[in-house]
């Protein structure tokens, strides 16, 4: 779903690669990734931004810097206050945050950087352990080493519903790695998490006319973790980069990022795979390759080759290195996931299937207030709505709630949404505040 860099990733560091089996969930560092650092007011555009834009962005940036410094000093409350002020400078300006292309570009970048810090602060708060970023399994498979002895003992077993299984050396190599090497922990964690989302994914793929075995792309892409984040800014269970997510209808704004959601990105992934399959004349292996590196790269590889199948492109080295491994990784993971006992994975416990009720939110509300009035912990409701970026639930949102909590949450929403809005009808994009003791 993205171009990946196989250099040492900015948020895991060297240690991750030395402890693959143990490194399952890794917290982010206390600094934003390089591509999110504000580049000294060099905003995009053919002409320099007007003075009023520079004045607003400089004021907002000053508050942001103060917030980042407060974060570094472990003063989360102050950091949130400064970040809120930075956003308010733009939202409360007479012209609005989107009145000039340069100002809009800065606003979007500011929101992304603040979101990065906010996610880190959420990780340290009680009950937010499941919201932390996790590595994509694909980012950990650069230098897989399998001994000849292990490879010789691997037998390809099982069937797939979209292609005949090719017992190529590459497939056998990854089967050996996942069954006998350090990758065994990756499989176990993915199988465990899959229980939460598998039924939903299969239903959506069936509705979209996509082979259900392909739901196991999520095993490789994210290990079924909504919080999976790659160095290429691919995010969520299905690892959409921002542009592809937007292309397939995933909302990404200051309140929500549907790439990190549940139903929406699953349906988008199924539709993207189906679209790729049609583009490559019904070849699911080429569609899978394009899902990883983009249809343009696959089309250029096909144009340079006398052959029109994935294995030929792979043998000729015409695809990016990761993509050459990607399809064998997926095939091996699907075989193991469908037939775990055949590959030595006996009685792996699965998380319970996700069940929830859905309630409409007609006007903006604070999630913590809703949860408190309903007698729930905020992180419980948040875990059912992983696409929410802050505690603010925007209007026209469909809020998922745990089974049995529908009545209490519905009562809270009705009471809160009966409260009049501000006279101008505007809503601030702010981080949730914590009450001072």
Q: What is the pLDDT of residue 20?
A: 27
Q: Within a domain: residue 352?
A: no
Highest mean pLDDT among 14-28, 195-209, 226-240: 195-209
- Indicate if the pLDDT at residue 216 is higher than 50: yes
| Residue 124 located in a structural domain | yes
Helix or strand (DSSP H, E) at 414: helix 406-417
Q: How many helices (H) and strands (E) does the chain have?
A: 17, 4
Q: What share of the chain is helix, strand, coil (3-state, %, to 5)?
A: 50, 5, 45
User: In whole angstroms, what is the distance from residue 168 CA to residue 154 CA?
Assistant: 11
Q: According to the model, what pLDDT value does residue 285 have?
A: 97
Answer whether 119's CB lies under 8 Å from 28's CB.
yes
In this structure, the answer to whether residues 62 and 79 fall within a common structural domain is yes
Higher pLDDT, 407 or 32: 407
C-alpha distance from residue 319 to each of 142, 162, 183, 312 (Å):
15, 22, 24, 10
Instruction: Name which of 10-24, 117-131, 377-391 the model is least confident about.
Output: 10-24
Q: How confident is the model at residue 273 (pLDDT cuts 50, 70, 90)?
A: very high
The pLDDT assigned to 117 comes to: 77
pLDDT above 80 for 342? yes
Judge whether 378 lies within some domain.
yes
CA distances to 4, 34, 139 from 9, rounded to whole Å, are 10, 11, 8
Residue 235 belongs to some domain of the structure: yes
- Reported as half-sphere exposure (CB side, CA atoms, 13 A), residue 297 has a value of 23
Domain check: are 325 and 305 in the same one? Answer: yes
Same domain (yes/no): 99, 156 = no
Statement to judge: residues 409 and 312 lie in one domain: no
Alpha-carbon distances of 399 from 1, 157, 411, rounded to whole Å: 27, 42, 13
Average pLDDT over residues 14-41: 33
**At 315, which CATH number?**
1.10.530.10
Q: How confident is the model at residue 19 (pLDDT cuts 50, 70, 90)?
A: very low
- In this structure, the answer to whether residues 126 and 144 fall within a common structural domain is no
In a domain, 433, yes or no: no
Tell me how far apart the alpha carbons of residues 121 and 81 are, in angstroms, rounded to a whole number. Answer: 13
What's the token pair of residue 352? 């319970």
Residues 194 and 227 in one domain: yes
Do 106 and 146 belong to one domain?
no
Who has greater pLDDT, 431 or 361? 361
Q: Which of 292, 309, 343 delimits the end of a domain? A: 343
Q: What's the pLDDT tens digit per position in 376-404?
A: 999 899 999 999 988 889 999 999 999 99
**Looking at residue 249, what is its pLDDT?**
96
Decide: 255 and 394 in contact? Cβ < 8 Å: yes
pLDDT tens-place string over residues 61-85: 999 999 888 888 888 778 888 888 8
- Predicted confidence (pLDDT) at residue 22 exceeds the cutoff of 50: no
Determine, yes or no, domain membership for 10.
no
3-state secondary structure of 192: helix
Residue 386 is predicted with a pLDDT of: 92
Is 427 part of any domain?
A: no
Same domain, 241 and 209: yes
Q: Is 257 a domain residue?
A: yes
- Integer angstrom CA distances of residue 243 from 33, 75, 135, 394: 19, 34, 20, 22
Q: Which of 99, 131, 163 is the last residue of a domain?
A: 131
* 33 has pLDDT over 90: no
Co-location of 192 and 97 in the same domain: no
Query: Domain end: 97, 131, 165, which one?
Result: 131
Q: What is the number of structural domains in the chain?
A: 3
Shared domain for 106 and 253, answered yes or no, is: no
The whole-number pLDDT of residue 143 equals: 62
Residue predicted with more confidence, 180 or 294: 294
Q: Tell me: do 268 and 330 sit in the same domain.
A: yes
| Poorest-pLDDT segment among 94-108, 198-212, 368-382 | 94-108
Residue 34: pLDDT band (50, 70, 90) is very low
SS3 201: helix
Q: Is 239 found in the same domain as 156?
A: yes
Q: Which domain holds residue 167?
A: 137-343
* CATH number reported for the structural domain that contains residue 100 in this entry: 1.20.58
Grouping H, G, I as helix, E, B as strand and the rest as coil, residue 130 is helix
Give the tens place of pLDDT for each residue, 285-327. Answer: 999 999 999 999 999 999 999 999 999 999 999 999 889 999 9
Mean pLDDT within 48-63:
86
| Residue of higher predicted confidence among 48 and 24 | 48
Q: Please tell me the predicted confidence (pLDDT) of residue 42.
A: 45
Residues 237-261 have pLDDT tens digits of 999 998 999 999 999 887 899 999 9
């Amino acid at each position: 779903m993205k171009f990946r860099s196989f250099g040492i990733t900015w948020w895991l560091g060297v240690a991750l690669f030395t402890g693959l089996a143990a490194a399952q969930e890794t917290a982010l560092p206390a600094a934003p990734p390089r591509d999110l650092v504000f580049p000294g007011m060099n905003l995009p555009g053919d002409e320099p931004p007007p003075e009023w834009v520079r004045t607003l962005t400089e004021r907002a940036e000053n508050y942001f810097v103060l917030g980042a410094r407060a974060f570094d000093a472990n003063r989360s409350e102050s950091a949130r206050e400064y970040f809120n002020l930075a956003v308010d400078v733009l939202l409360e300006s007479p012209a609005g945050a989107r009145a000039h292309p340069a100002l809009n570009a800065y606003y979007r970048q500011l929101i992304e950087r603040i979101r990065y810090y906010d996610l880190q602060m959420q990780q340290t708060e009680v009950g937010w352990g499941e919201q932390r970023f996790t590595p994509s399994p694909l980012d950990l498979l650069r230098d897989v080493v399998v001994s000849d002895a292990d490879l010789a003992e691997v037998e390809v077993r099982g069937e797939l519903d979209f292609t005949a299984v090719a017992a190529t050396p590459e497939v056998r190599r990854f089967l050996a790695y996942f069954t006998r090497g350090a990758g065994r922990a990756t499989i176990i964690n993915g199988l465990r998490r899959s229980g939460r989302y598998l039924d939903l994914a299969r239903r959506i793929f069936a509705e979209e006319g996509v082979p259900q075995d392909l739901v196991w792309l999520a095993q490789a892409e994210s290990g079924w973790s909504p919080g999976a984040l790659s160095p290429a800014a691919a995010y969520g269970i299905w690892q959409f980069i921002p542009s592809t997510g937007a292309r397939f209808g995933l909302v990404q704004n200051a309140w929500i990022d549907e790439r990190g959601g549940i139903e929406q990105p699953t349906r988008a992934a199924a539709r993207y795979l189906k679209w790729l399959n049609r583009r490559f004349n019904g070849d699911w292996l080429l569609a899978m390759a394009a899902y990883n590196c983009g249809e343009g790269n696959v089309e250029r590889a096909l144009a340079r080759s006398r052959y029109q199948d994935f294995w030929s492109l792979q043998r000729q080295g015409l695809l990016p290195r990761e993509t050459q491994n990607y399809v064998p990784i997926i095939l091996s993971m699907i075989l193991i996931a469908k037939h775990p006992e055949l590959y030595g994975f006996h009685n792996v416990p699965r998380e319970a299937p996700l069940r929830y009720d859905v309630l409409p939110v007609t006007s903006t509300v604070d999630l913590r207030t809703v949860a408190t009035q309903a007698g729930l912990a905020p992180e419980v409701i948040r875990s059912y709505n992983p696409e929410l970026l802050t505690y603010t639930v925007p209007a026209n949102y469909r809020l998922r709630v745990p089974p049995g909590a529908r009545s209490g949450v519905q009562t809270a929403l009705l009471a809160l949404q009966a409260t009049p809005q501000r006279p101008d009808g505007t809503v601030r994009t702010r981080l949730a505040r914590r009450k001072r003791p």
